[in-house]
Structure 1
């Protein structure tokens, strides 16, 4: 059934569900919650059925659909997935129903009882699937920008604290600025390529093959800055801690766990493959920015007194690892980066949810307001520990595999960035273990005497993520089998090759292999 419109169905289900939930009467909030959960589970089943038919060794893009949308300007409704897009869509549809479960009572104090919040979740899910599935660059841009609308209201209307509206506006302004730069670059792509179809723009015979090198670099920058804001990457990261700190935990999971991956996915899919020569020219500046993000994000995470903001800053550091893996132009680095996107979504999602359950009990996100939680809530503390250890890439948990691959790929590119990046690993152990020690250990204060452990619903929301962290930590091969062919195709499209082993270079009297793609000088910029 590969000709069946799986992706369109996966996008339409939550989109129609959002409309149905929004039209329900205000007093039907329980019906709205059940309907939202039912639609997200149905979407998960549809995507799982599609994924079961994906052939890793088959065509690069599968389940493709192309229909004219605005023929006069060459715009099509075009969707399809390769291995990287598929695993990111799977990650998204796994996280959304768990967020719905976790947020079941999260917005009971809202004027509408949270009905609008659940409608926004469904609308956002449709757009998340669409942005990863789009194979028309204009369609990608539409989904990329449309995602801002539900997130803005999820933060500004349903967020926490007095600063939530300011946080929502800051998120919107940063994202719109990046989006405007992408729009300008998108116009340039059409001027030079006369098409928006991604498959017709990339490769040696693609529409952008003969583009002027200077023009290619400017177009690359337009896309890259937009993706760097979304990722977020230093120095355009400052909206994330503010937005995450003012969000409900469920919103933070989708914001950091899924939406930010659009930025790193866009770098891998669009920056590298549409402008391979320009991407090669910018390798070292991006590597330096990635290293700054890794160390700077980790240091600021250590300094935080607010748990939500701490987790947000850890993500700045983690996204530095992802962008580093993307731009070292090695197969191990890019496979690790793609796998890191998935593993980070599960690990950070679990950590945000557990912290959210803790905050719901005590009403504070301040680390100083907690102590001795493990004595009264051992299940909550255990989930917190596993999620935190995944965040510091403990061997046996899935983020370790992806981080290890990034390190291997980076070292093959050049040893110095790999050594500097290792500082982030040391700092990660410090900010995670110190947060756990301050909140979970020690004597229980009287103010927390009535603290209760996770309920059955809350456990059901977090347990699948913890299970996935363990399963893919022990056996990541199913994900890598899907990701690796897409990475190989990306490397071929960019004209990059893995450096020769260092031993071989030594025997030949050469250097250590600082280059990553011996044939880049003759690129088709």
Structure 2
């Protein structure tokens, strides 16, 4: 029953249909809209739990497969399936979504042109993004994936531009233009890949079936010329690098993260942007193994630059929300580094890093958002002595910050450790440069905590913001958001085995398709051997 019922269709249909219902709720029923959106997100979490329980790590590569004709003349179908990597991100999305709705409970305010329906619009857009992310993660047809990969930009654009800060319009346009351009380049590659399959004798006609194309590439029946393979790989990679984002394609992220509401910013950084790194693992490596291996040194060099660049710029920020946005650029560098070193430790660590980054960034950004909503200022200099007046808020901020700097015992540590180990076995020099981020992250987190949370309580600046001494501690609604995130950071930091048991077989499958094996350490000669 579990594997025959169309669970993956239900997974993406629940939030999508829920979004349509929420937007139709009458303007005066804002509370009903909030509770309905929360209920829809909880149902989505329930479906994800069913998938996680029914998934067999030792079973087939893709499970819960659904396959139906869509546009047969174009060789495209409604093909869904989930492997261990996709399942991990599905569960992350489903877990975070109810927490984001609770966190953004009071974010939406009535704006001109929405006729008092801003709450309904805000929640419907959040659910729409969730549904499109789900579809992107489970699609096994390349054209189907592309459609939802691009479509998710529209609701996110309106979330930033309709409900963000003073410069929201500029940030939203910048976000959309960067990502649409990346998607346009990818569209050329999607069409090019279809032409290649149509001209091949393997399929008889063009196809977008991901599994069939990968099988043909792996078996050697479909051979791409170096020029064609490089063009297609770079086009896919460019779109994913913008979405992720990889340095130097990151310029849109800090503005979008700062101007969006905290909940929608987390939806973007912790959930939607993961589709970019997921696409690198799912599409770039198996479809174009030769090109991926050829361009590997360039990509991991950019990743290491991004790691250091993001950490250094985070240290220099005076805006706490912008600081956290730059830390994400550094973390995405680690994720991409682990993917392209092409070792089992690196790729398993990268996938686990996607989960842990989502949780830690959600915790840190939302707690900072709760603080900013009280004081009315994003400037670090506007705070001081917060731990004296709001000890729970300060304490949870510290735990989330320590997770961000990968303190042992908290979830991001093991994923960052795996990435560095996997990198060191192939590129020891780059691994050393990447490891400098461990020191830099300690600087920007601990220095920020010192300036904002410790010392004497800062006096009122007389600028219209609420005085620090009047700040409330976390209320029950906010604790309901923060407590599960802190618990997940602790549990996955101490016992990541269940997640890795699901991830590792999928990683092994990807490396096998690419013909990659882990480097064998060379042992130093023994005394007896050295004397010969």
- 1:66 touches 1:77 (CA, 8 Å); kept in 2? yes
Q: Following the alignment from structure 1 to structure 2, what is the Cα–Cα distance between the partners of residues 503 and 415?
A: 16
Check whether the contact 2:382–2:458 (CA below 8 A) recurs between aligned residues.
no
Q: Aligned equivalents of 1:360 and 1:492: distance in 2?
A: 49
Matched, 1:195 2:207: yes
Counterpart of 2:305 in structure 1 is 292
C-alpha spacing 1:343/1:493, structure 2 compared with 1 (3 Å): same
Is 2:505 aligned against 1:485? yes
Per-residue CA distance 1:485-507 (angstroms, 9 max, x = gap) = 00000000111000011317999
Q: Deviations over 1:405-430 (max 9, x none)?
A: 00110001121011010111111111
TM-superposed deviation, 1:209: 2.9
Distance 1:501 1:4 in 2: 46
Q: Distance in 1 between matches of 2:194 and 2:376?
A: 51
- Unmatched 5+ residue regions in structure 1? 510-525
Residue pair 2:33, 2:119 contacting (<8 A) in 1 also: no
Whole-angstrom CA distance in 2 between matches of 1:4 and 1:502: 50
Separation of aligned partners in 2, 1:199 and 1:175: 26
Paired position in structure 2 for 1:301: 314
Distance in 2 of aligned mates of 1:413 and 1:205 = 23
Does the CA contact (< 8 Å) of 1:398 and 1:474 recur in 2?
yes
When normalised by structure 1's length, the TM-score is: 0.95
- Per the alignment, in what secondary structure is the counterpart of residue 78 of structure 2? strand
Residue 180 of structure 1 aligns with which residue? 184
Q: Give the Cα separation in 1 of the matches to 2:83 and 2:28.
A: 43
Partner residue in 1 for 2:138: 133
Show CA shifts across 1:78-118 (max 9, x none).
11110000000100011110000001111235453422100
Structure 2 partner of 1:59: 60
Q: How does 1:454-493 map to 2 (within 5 A)?
A: 454-493=474-513
Alignment partner for residue 154 of structure 2, among 125, 128, 149? 149
Aligned to 1:420: 433
Q: Which region of structure 1 is more displaced relative to structure 2, 102-111 or 295-304?
A: 102-111
Q: Distance in 1 between matches of 2:524 and 2:60?
A: 34
Q: Does the CA-based 8 Å contact 1:200-1:206 persist in structure 2? A: no
Q: Does 1:169 align with 2:182?
A: no
Q: Structure 1 residue 450 and structure 2 residue 470: aligned? A: yes
Q: Distance in 2 between matches of 1:274 and 1:174?
A: 25
Match of 2:278 in 1: 265
Q: CA separation in 1, counterparts of 2:263 and 2:23?
A: 19
Name the TM-score, length of structure 2 as normaliser.
Answer: 0.94
Cα 1:109/1:431, change in 2 over 3 Å: farther
Deviation at 1:175, TM superposition (A): 0.3
Inter-partner Cα distance in structure 2 for 1:68 and 1:155 = 36
Check whether the contact 1:202–1:273 (CA below 8 A) recurs between aligned residues.
yes
**Which structure 2 segments of 5+ residues have no match?**
198-205, 460-466
1:234-273 to 2 correspondences below 5 Å: 234-273=247-286
Moved more, 443-452 or 409-418: 443-452
Tell me the residue number matched to 1:97: 98
Within 2, Cα distance between the matches of 1:265 and 1:47? 18
Change over 3 Å in CA distance of 1:205–1:367 after alignment to 2 = closer
Alignment pair present for 1:365 and 2:378? yes
- The answer to whether the 8 A contact 1:392-1:432 is kept is yes
Alpha-carbon distance, 1:260 to partner: 1.1
Matches within 5 A, 1:286-365: 286-365=299-378
Aligned pairs (5 A) from 1:106-117: 106-110=107-111, 111-117=116-122
The corresponding residue for 1:230 is: 243
Name the counterpart of 2:201: none
In the alignment, which residue of structure 1 is the partner of 2:89?
88
Contact 1:192 1:208 in 2 (8 A): no
Shift in Å at residue 455 of structure 1? 0.5
CA drift of 1:208 comes to: 7.4
Going from structure 1 to structure 2, the CA distance change for 1:488 and 1:27 (only over 3 Å counts) comes to same
Superposed CA offset, 1:141-166 (max 9, x none): 011001001100000001112x1000
SS in structure 2 at match of 1:56: coil
Cα deviations across residues 270-323 of structure 1 (Å, max 9, x unaligned)? 000100000000010001101110011111111111111111110110111111
Provide the rounded CA distance (Å) in 1 between the counterparts of 2:526 and 2:174.
Answer: 52
Q: Secondary structure at the match of 2:65?
A: strand
- Structure 1 residues 397 and 436: CA distance shift in structure 2, 3 A: same
CA distance in 2, matches of 1:113, 1:436: 35
1:201: how far off?
Answer: 1.1
Cα–Cα, structure 1 residues 224 and 459, in superposed 2: closer, same or farther, change >3 Å? same
SS of residue matched to 2:61? coil
Deviation for aligned residue 1:38: 0.4
- Answer yes or no: is the 8 Å Cα contact 2:284–2:292 preserved in 1: yes
- In the alignment, the residues of structure 1 paired with residue 276 and residue 438 of structure 2 have an alpha-carbon distance, to the nearest angstrom, of 23
CA contact (8 A) 1:257 1:349 kept: yes
> Which of 410, 415, 424 lines up with 1:411 in the alignment?
424
Residue 325 of structure 1 contacts residue 409 of structure 1 at CA under 8 Å; is this kept in 2?
A: yes
Maintained 8 Å contact 1:154/1:251: yes
The 2-side partners of 1:23 and 1:263 are apart by 32
Per the alignment, residue 16 of structure 1 pairs with 17
Q: CA distance change for structure 1 residues 312 and 208 in 2, over 3 Å: closer, same or farther?
A: farther
Whether contact under 8 Å (2:76, 2:208) holds in the other structure is yes
Using the TM superposition, give the Cα deviation of residue 210 of structure 1 relative to its aligned residue in structure 2, in angstroms.
1.0
Q: Residues 376-415 of structure 1: CA distance to partner in whole angstroms, max 9, x if unpaired?
A: 1111111101111110000000100000000110001121
Mark the CA change 1:138 to 1:396 in structure 2 (over 3 Å): closer, same or farther. same
Q: Which residue of 1 aligns with 2:516?
A: 496
Shift of the alpha carbon at 1:195?
1.2
Structure 1 residues 210 and 482: CA distance shift in structure 2, 3 A: same
